A and B are shown apart, each in its own frame.
Chain A
Amino acid sequence: MIRVALSAEWTKLRTAPGTVWLLVAVVVPTIGVSAAAAAAVGCSADVCGVDPARISLTGIQLGQAAVAVLAVLMVGTEYGTGLMGVTLAAMPRRVTVLAAKAAILVAVVAPAALFAVLGCLVVGRVILPGHGIPVPLDSLSRPAAGSVLYLVAIALLGLGVAVAVRDSATAIGVVLALLYVYPIVIRVVSDPTWLRRLERIGPTAGLAIQATTGLDGLAIGPWRGLGVLAGWATAALLLGALLLHHRDA
């Protein structure tokens, strides 16, 4: 059963015209932004607060939008065109459909994310030493592995939200609000204790995985931050599964 579902989802995703371009968009602009950020950073003092891994991975902030679009469209287009009715008629076990979608999405996003992350780190490794910022190789394994997982988690978050709201534009609006607007808007709270609490519970806590220096100053530890994002993704998928199960398609 699940094999059929997987095969169906794979065919749908593979033959959708936008998929390849979105995967390209996950990789190329991400590396481009990272290269630009690395080229723009300068360090004149002996000690500068620049985290080489974090600067190298600046592009992830853009790449995550492409990942989210890919995830949202996987469901949103089906609702938009009415294909969802056919899908669920052919595969009445709805949670299986969602699981298959999630599996295929991870299988597609993970390699693209790997390319993007490695590209960013290579670019940073090439550019940053020329600007006086050493990039120790052995410190990069956690940001590298973690950033791939970060993008995968963003994809699952997008998928869950899209199943829950059933409309591509609204779903991507919700995801982008969480990723881009939440960290800006929490600044309205000036109390540092509360600000840190809000930084810890938002999905962008996952970006802590990029940090290699100044870990004590972080609102949340790298892996725990990624755990918070994983929690958001799980919650979104659960909500999506619940609504999908109990609601008319």
Chain B
Amino acid sequence: MKALLRSEWIKFRTVRGWVVAMTLAAGVIVGLGLLPGQQGSCGRSGPDCVLPVGPDGERVTDRFTFVNSPLHGDGSITVRVTSLTGLLPPAADGGEPRPGPVPWAKAGIIIKDGTRQGSTYAAVMVTGGHGTRMQHDFVHDRAGRPGAATPSSPRWLRLTRTGATVTGAESADGVTWTTVDSVRLPGLPSVMRAGLFVTSPQYAEATREGFGLSGASGAPTQATATFDGVDARGFDPQWTTDSIGPPPAGGSAPVPVGGSALAGGVHTVTGSGDIAPAVAGATGIGATITQTLVGTFAGLIIVVVVATLFATAEYRRGLIRTTLAASPRRGRTLVAKAIVIGSVAFAGGLVAAAIVVTLGQPVLRANGVYVHPATTATEVRVVVGTAVLLGLAAVLAVALGALLRRGAAAVTAAVVAVVLPYLLAVSVLPVEAARWLLRVTPAAAFAVQQSTPEYPQVANLYTPALGYFPLAPWAGLAVLLAWVALALGCAMVRLRRRDV
């Protein structure tokens, strides 16, 4: 086997065009990754785009209208929410703002460590379309009863702090109470702020203009809630109204106005924003490291062409007879070929992706683009995953080359299998069909490049076009691996059974 690997390596190394092409593939990935194609306004004409940091170190969105009072030590607030309404931005073809609220508009009671953005909190709330929820520290979410708060069926909420424990409860009549969740917040100081809050996240809509890939447009929304029967236990509320965070940027109408009014024991609170982890895409800002790796597609084509030629060129020149005469165990020859070209593609991909992921982010930031920070583990996964993807694509091309023996047919089969499903998924097909396609075809492997997670409690367009894939990263790569194994198996059987 060692001799086989060595001979295949020499066959690759001594064809100058192939070596140049493989280097070019890596160069294209780097070039497209570092190309300053994106421009942003962060730190130039606009704000500095520094997102608040949550208690667990993650970047968060923390913007809401907060009717609050200092709370010393233990205490509880009970309130009745009698309505939650809202406004959505006008439809794409203009017109008036549409009535809301958006499904993740939130109104309820919150206990928070001061009014600083990103500080620890726990909140129980009614939402526009997801029922009652208890959330804390941005990423944690627990569902209560479904249904909305309306004047005919109001919803009672209660938030109780006892030491480090905060308990949220709900009731349909103010008499029988159900605990939604009980959470421990070790970082909560003895003096904090407690009160009512309303917020309404960015609204996003898929746009599909012309024959370009589908995009997205988003705009701020607002929500208004009415609270009555506010009952504070354990403290004497001194209500002040704060707008946490700056008003949301972007979009024109409706202009989100935050504020509150108190009349006859009824608080009417209007807010816009969100209390949630920050996301990339339609409802968030900025780019992800996934977008810097778009050159993978261009590199992939070159890798596929070289790998196919590596397999089929021997047939054309008759070298395959010499090869198989020298090592009659044909399966091993094919495996040696696959290992050599797969390793070359892997190595090239590893270097290129590592350069893009480390250098691409400063380039984007220098252009004023906000780049969502990824953990080192995610970065390593994206880099190694991209390299594995290219390596597997090379092996697939070798297998198809040995199976079909025609360079053009093999290249087409490999490209149609790996790239076309992705292109169809992000351009013509409806989202459901696109997600299905990216589960079963070799294109599922691009999931390994996803760099920001999906949060069910954050409304966003989690579509493949925006870098969110239906499969988990390594599961997507496993789908490609299965296809490669199938192709390699068929190629071996064919190589053994057939004359050369």
Q: State the A residues within 8 Å of B (CB).
A: 18, 36-37, 40-42, 49-50, 54-55, 58, 61-62, 65-66, 68-69, 72-73, 76, 80-81, 167-173, 176-177, 180-181, 183-185, 187-191, 195-196, 199, 204-205, 207-208, 210-211, 214, 217-220, 225
Residues A188 and B212 in contact in the complex (CB < 8 Å), given A69-B408, A69-B409, A177-B301: no
Contact at A61–B420, with CB atoms within 8 Å? yes
Smallest Cβ-Cβ distance to A68: which chain B residue:
B412
B477 CB–A CB distance under 8 Å: no
Q: Which residues of A lie under 8 Å from residue B433 when comparing CB positions?
A: 36-37, 40-41
Smallest Cβ-Cβ distance to A176: which chain B residue:
B415
Among candidates B32, B210, B300, B409, residue contacting A188 with C-beta atoms closer than 8 Å: B32
Q: Which residues of A lie under 8 Å from residue B301 when comparing CB positions?
A: 173, 176-177, 180-181
List B272-318 residues whose CB lies under 8 Å from chain A.
287, 291, 294-295, 297-298, 300-302, 304-305, 308-309, 312, 316
Smallest Cβ-Cβ distance to B429: which chain A residue:
A37
Smallest Cβ-Cβ distance to A181: which chain B residue:
B297
| Interchain CA distance A187-B465 in the complex, whole Å | 10
Q: Which residues of A lie under 8 Å from residue B309 when comparing CB positions?
A: 167, 169-170
Contact at A168–B415, with CB atoms within 8 Å? no
Among candidates B212, B305, B419, B428, residue contacting A219 with C-beta atoms closer than 8 Å: B212
Smallest Cβ-Cβ distance to A173: which chain B residue:
B305
B: number of interface residues (CB 8 Å): 49
| Interchain CA distance A203-B335 in the complex, whole Å | 38
Interface string of B424-444 (1 = CB under 8 A from A): 101111101100100000000
Distance (whole angstroms) from the CB of A119 to the closest CB of chain B: 18
Smallest Cβ-Cβ distance to B401: which chain A residue:
A169
Q: Which residues of B lie under 8 Å from residue A171 when comparing CB positions?
A: 408
Contact at A61–B424, with CB atoms within 8 Å? yes
Smallest Cβ-Cβ distance to A205: which chain B residue:
B211
Residues A176 and B412 in contact in the complex (CB < 8 Å), given A42-B430, A181-B419: yes
Contact at B411–A176, with CB atoms within 8 Å? yes
How many residue pairs bridge A and B at CB < 8 Å?
154
Q: Which residues of A lie under 8 Å from residue B412 when comparing CB positions?
A: 65-66, 68-69, 172, 176
Residues A211 and B211 in contact in the complex (CB < 8 Å), given A169-B407, A181-B301, A189-B37: yes
Q: Which residues of B lie under 8 Å from residue A217 when comparing CB positions?
A: 209-210
B104 CB–A CB distance under 8 Å: no
Smallest Cβ-Cβ distance to B364: which chain A residue:
A190
Q: Which residues of A lie under 8 Å from residue B287 when comparing CB positions?
A: 190
Q: Which residues of A lie under 8 Å from residue B429 when comparing CB positions?
A: 37, 40-41, 58
Q: Which residues of B lie under 8 Å from residue A66 when comparing CB positions?
A: 412
Q: Which residues of B lie under 8 Å from residue A42 when comparing CB positions?
A: 430, 432
B140 CB–A CB distance under 8 Å: no
| Interchain CA distance A81-B316 in the complex, whole Å | 7
Contact at A180–B419, with CB atoms within 8 Å? yes
Distance (whole angstroms) from the CB of B365 to the closest CB of chain A: 14
Q: Which residues of A lie under 8 Å from residue B298 when comparing CB positions?
A: 177, 181, 185
Contact at B38–A190, with CB atoms within 8 Å? yes
Contact at A173–B420, with CB atoms within 8 Å? no
Distance (whole angstroms) from the CB of A201 to the closest CB of chain B: 13
